[in-house]
């Protein structure tokens, strides 16, 4: 081999890839990324869903431990007699605050001043505490503290931490008066006494597990909620009793929040929602009526195609968005309605 030939080969090796070869390599890499990315995303969503399921199971077990110790379920939200729960800011502890000791959060529980409303300044630090087991990793908004949930006539103070889990109140609204036909407003309210309406954990209600005549394995007790997407949206605020905050209310066929993750205009009635945020809330499938009171809110998640729900036996199950429901403002009697109601006598098969 002569010197000229050797130099030519060296130049060819030193030149690296040709443009065509480089384009082929880039195309191959692009194809591999396109093939692998959905799998990576699916794995991440599976991990988020698994963590969320674990959180919900731990909350359900905490509720059951509370009931085992006290022989009653925690009250959904405490409020003063004469106040309307959909509008009042005179709210005491809710079910999540009540079960803090069962969640190994005794110190946080003790830091609340229960001689004052939860909205009082004395409870500002406690209610602003973020609790990891109350957060679903699929929801990017849940880690943001809500600065103020006030309305002009209902000051609520600042510094509210958010979460992603709420208790099943039932198939009726928390609005009006005890004499309203479908209102859930304490143990003597007509809604709570109605077998088709009563859920499991109600406002100003000291319910018992043994009262769930449909069977604990057939009745929803807790479910997911999404945290609010704006500063006026109090959904997901864990220390606040109210629709969409820590309670899911009137989310069966007879309301307009008539199923999991529904995007119906004005589906959720949440006190404090701002008209200025209506467009973004609708875009995010977080519709909110801006009428000034909180009467109803459905279960929501950012998992694809459904929500996780904890039943009253402590088990957690996946519920598809396509579960049988009707409405809005439809007739009661769908599979979804029967899972929400706890004493209706209608036990459905396994739809999970």
Per residue in 257-266, pLDDT (tens digit) is: 999 999 998 8
Task: Please check the confidence at residue 232 and state whether its pLDDT lies above 90.
Answer: no
Give the mean model confidence (pLDDT) for residues 97-124: 97
| Of 135, 64, 20, the residue nearest 313 (C-alpha) | 64
pLDDT at 308: 98
Task: Please check the confidence at residue 93 and state whether its pLDDT lies above 50.
Answer: yes
Confidence of residue 22 (pLDDT cuts 50, 70, 90): confident
Residue with tokens 């579960």: 323
The more confidently predicted of residues 152 and 332 is 332
pLDDT at 60: 98
The backbone torsions φ and ψ at residue 138, rounded to the nearest 5 degrees and listed phi first, read: -75, -15
CA separation for the pair 76, 94 (Å, rounded): 5
pLDDT at 80: 84
CA torsion, ordered 98, 341, 227, 79, to nearest 10 deg: -40
Beta bridge partners of 148: 158
Mean pLDDT of the chain: 89
| Of 227, 217, 108, the residue nearest 165 (C-alpha) | 227
pTM attached to this predicted model: 0.87
Confidence of residue 8 (pLDDT cuts 50, 70, 90): low
pLDDT at 13: 47
In contact, 56 and 103? CB cutoff 8 Å? no
Task: Please check the confidence at residue 247 and state whether its pLDDT lies above 90.
Answer: yes
């Amino acid at each position: 081999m002569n010197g000229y030939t050797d130099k030519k080969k060296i130049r060819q090796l030193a030149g690296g890839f040709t443009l065509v070869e480089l384009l082929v390599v880039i195309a191959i890499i692009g194809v591999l990324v396109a093939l692998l990315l959905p799998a990576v995303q699916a794995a991440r969503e599976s991990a988020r869903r698994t963590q969320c399921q674990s959180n919900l199971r731990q909350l359900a077990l905490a509720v059951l431990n509370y009931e085992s110790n006290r022989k009653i379920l925690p009250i959904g939200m405490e409020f003063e007699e004469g106040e309307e729960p959909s509008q009042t800011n005179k709210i005491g502890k809710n079910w999540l605050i009540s079960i803090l000791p069962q969640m190994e959060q005794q110190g946080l529980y003790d830091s609340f001043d229960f001689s004052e409303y939860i909205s009082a300044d004395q409870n500002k630090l406690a209610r602003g505490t973020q609790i990891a087991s109350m957060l679903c990793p699929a929801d990017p908004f849940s880690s943001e503290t809500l600065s103020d949930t006030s309305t002009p006539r209902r000051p609520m103070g600042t510094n509210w931490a958010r979460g992603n889990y709420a208790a099943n109140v039932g198939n009726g609204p928390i609005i009006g008066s005890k004499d309203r036909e479908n209102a859930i407003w304490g143990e003597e309210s007509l809604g709570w006494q109605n077998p088709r309406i009563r859920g499991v954990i109600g406002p100003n209600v000291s319910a018992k597990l043994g009262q769930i005549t449909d069977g604990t394995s057939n009745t929803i007790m807790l479910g997911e909620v999404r945290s609010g997407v704006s500063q006026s949206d109090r959904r997901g605020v864990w220390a606040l009793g109210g629709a969409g905050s820590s309670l899911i209310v009137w989310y069966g066929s007879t309301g307009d929040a008539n199923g999991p993750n529904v995007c119906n205009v004005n589906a959720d009635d949440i006190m404090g929602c701002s008209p200025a945020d209506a467009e973004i809330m609708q875009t995010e499938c977080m519709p909110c009526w801006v009428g000034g009171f909180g009467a109803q809110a459905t279960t929501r998640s950012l998992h694809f195609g459904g929500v996780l729900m904890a039943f009253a036996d402590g088990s957690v199950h996946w519920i598809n968005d396509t579960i049988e429901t009707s409405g809005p403002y439809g007739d009661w009697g769908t599979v979804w309605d029967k899972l929400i109601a706890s004493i209706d006598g209608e036990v459905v098969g396994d739809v999970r």
